[in-house]
Amino acid sequence: MNLNLSIVNSPRTDGARVLRAKAALRAELDEPRRQGQTIGLVPTMGYLHEGHLSLLRAARAECDLVVMSLFVNPTQFAPGEDLERYPRDEERDLRLASEAGADFVYAPAAAEVYPDGFSTAVEVGGNLTEVLDGDPARRGPEHFRGVATVVAKLFNSVGPDVAYFGQKDAQQAAVIRRMARDLDFPVRIEVLPTVREADGLAMSSRNAYLGSEDRERAVALSRALGAAERGAREESLQAGLDAARRELESAGIEPEYLEARDAERLQPVAELNGRPVLVAVAAQVGGARLIDNVLIRP
């Protein structure tokens, strides 16, 4: 299959140039940066879907150069999670990245990101990483330590002006915003809306784990969030959460969590208070652990 891609040090033609080493990536970006070109970064773990592609297109529209990272980050997976079976298809990902406008795909090996003796981590403290997915009874704060560490390394390797993330991973986006602010990374964090299937299911690489019956049941997550927003606006936030739980129960889904929190601080909220409120849900549906959320703006 002809992907129209160039590899490592060959001249770029129509496709994205694939780089495996951070030294090569930095060398490629040095001159454009000196010329004042803007650099956009889209971090991904691959197995691209329309959500990723929407980020790439936004970066293409706003930036002179677009870098997509393609790296399944082992430090954000806990023992027993799906690191080994996480879906991968590099050939397809490179083709789609090129079609969406990426100039460079940074696809390092794990040893390039975490060389022998690596012993440093970036940890965002406080409420952001210890609730929702970061609750020790769920994925735990170690998950976000892995996320923050790899994204910090990407920021240092790429030096982007703008980095693009999806609203589906709202807690991750909040953690990255805080990290960039606290550590003075000179990068703008852009969070774009969740992209959904026609029936409302949030696009996710892990949707590949769903069988046909579970795929139908999984749509209850987006229905539940819609019910939560309607109930919150028409009656109360608690009424919205109750309506959401009924939607999940009707599909035989028991949520790991279904919570309303301040969208920036992730503190629990009991009512709409003039600030954006995040209603977030996570649930195991068949072989897939799915997350989704709705942002209720004032």
CB 192 within 8 A of CB 164: yes
Residue 2: per-residue pLDDT: 38
Q: What is 6-192's CATH number?
A: 3.40.50.620
pTM above the 0.85 mark?
A: yes
Residue 126: per-residue pLDDT: 76
Residue 12: per-residue pLDDT: 40
Residue 232: per-residue pLDDT: 97
Q: Do domains 6-192 and 205-296 have the same CATH topology?
A: no
Neighbouring-strand partners of residue 291 = 282
Tell me if residue 85 falls in helix, strand or coil: coil
Residues 46-99 have pLDDT tens digits of 999 999 999 999 999 999 999 999 999 999 999 999 999 999 999 999 999 999
| High-pLDDT (> 70) share of the chain, % | 95
Encoding tokens for residue 219? 């749509």
Q: Answer whether residue 7 shows pLDDT above 60.
A: no
Q: Answer whether residue 10 shows pLDDT above 90.
A: no
| High-pLDDT (> 90) share of the chain, % | 94
Q: Which fold has domain 205-296?
A: Pantoate--beta-alanine Ligase; Chain: A,domain 2 (3.30.1300)
Boundaries of every domain in the chain = 6-192, 205-296
Q: Answer whether residue 173 shows pLDDT above 70.
A: yes
| Catalytic residue list | 52
CB 41 within 8 A of CB 62: no
Q: Answer whether residue 14 shows pLDDT above 80.
A: no
User: In whole angstroms, how far apart are CA 105 and each of 24, 59, 108, 146, 234?
Assistant: 12, 13, 9, 21, 46
* Count of beta carbons in the 10 Å neighbourhood of residue 222: 20
Q: Answer whether residue 230 shows pLDDT above 70.
A: yes
Residue 30: per-residue pLDDT: 97
Q: CA 293 to CA 298: how far, in whole Å? A: 16
